[in-house]
């Protein structure tokens, strides 16, 4: 509480609680989905420390656990990041590339994708991502943000409007 009072801001912590073997074991399980609870940040203006997952959750899984450690096939990882997660959360208009769905697409190089963010230098963009398309609009091209902001709030069936 002294830190909250002296810093006049939110105080956050990072705990190291699990073994590095744990994610690999969990990712192999067929019912596991892949997501993140991190916030989106603009690395050009971000100054405070944040968890590296803000920039690297998905690239880390694709680079380390799929390509390097071969924990699961690429197709299974992408399914667990997209359609499996959307289905589990009962979000019916995302997660697949088909007519009537929102066009959210990440085009990446499977041979080079990886995370670069660390605890000491968390504001590092991943490598290997060529394009990011949100709701059919290109928001990143060749690693550079286009300035477009076509994102929409995604709410599941539990949303009550409050």
Within its chain, how far is the Cα of 132 from the centroid? 12
Give dist(CA 42, CA 47) in Å, integer: 10
Domain boundaries of the chain, sorted by first residue: 17-145
- Say if residues 132 and 104 touch (Cβ distance below 8 Å): no
Return averaged pLDDT per consecutive 10 residues of the chain, 162 residues in all.
82 81 93 89 82 90 97 97 95 93 94 94 93 95 91 88 82
pTM: predicted TM-score of the whole model, two decimal places:
0.86
3-state helix, strand, coil in the chain (%, to 5): 25, 10, 60
pLDDT in tens, 63-103: 999 999 999 999 999 999 999 999 999 999 999 999 999 98
Calpha distance 112→97 (Å, rounded): 23
Contact yes or no for 56/116 (Cβ under 8 A)? yes
| DSSP-based three-state secondary structure for 15 | coil
Q: Among residues of the chain, what percentage have pLDDT more than 90?
A: 61
């Amino acid at each position: 509480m002294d830190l909250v009072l002296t810093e006049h801001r939110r105080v956050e912590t990072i705990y190291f609680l699990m073994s590095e073997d744990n994610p690999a074991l969990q990712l192999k399980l067929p019912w596991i989905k892949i997501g993140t609870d991190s916030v989106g940040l603009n690395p050009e203006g971000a100054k405070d420390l944040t968890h590296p997952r803000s920039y690297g959750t998905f690239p880390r899984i694709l680079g380390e656990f799929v390509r390097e450690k071969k924990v699961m096939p690429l197709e299974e990882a992408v399914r667990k990041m997209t359609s499996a997660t959307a289905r589990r959360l009962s979000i019916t208009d995302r997660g697949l590339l088909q007519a009537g769905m929102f066009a959210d697409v990440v085009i990446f190089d499977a041979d080079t994708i990886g995370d670069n963010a660390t605890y000491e230098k968390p504001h590092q963009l991943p490598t290997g991502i060529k394009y990011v398309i949100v709701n059919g609009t290109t928001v990143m091209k060749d690693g550079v943000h286009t300035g477009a902001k076509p994102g929409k709030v995604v709410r599941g069936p539990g949303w009550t409007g409050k």
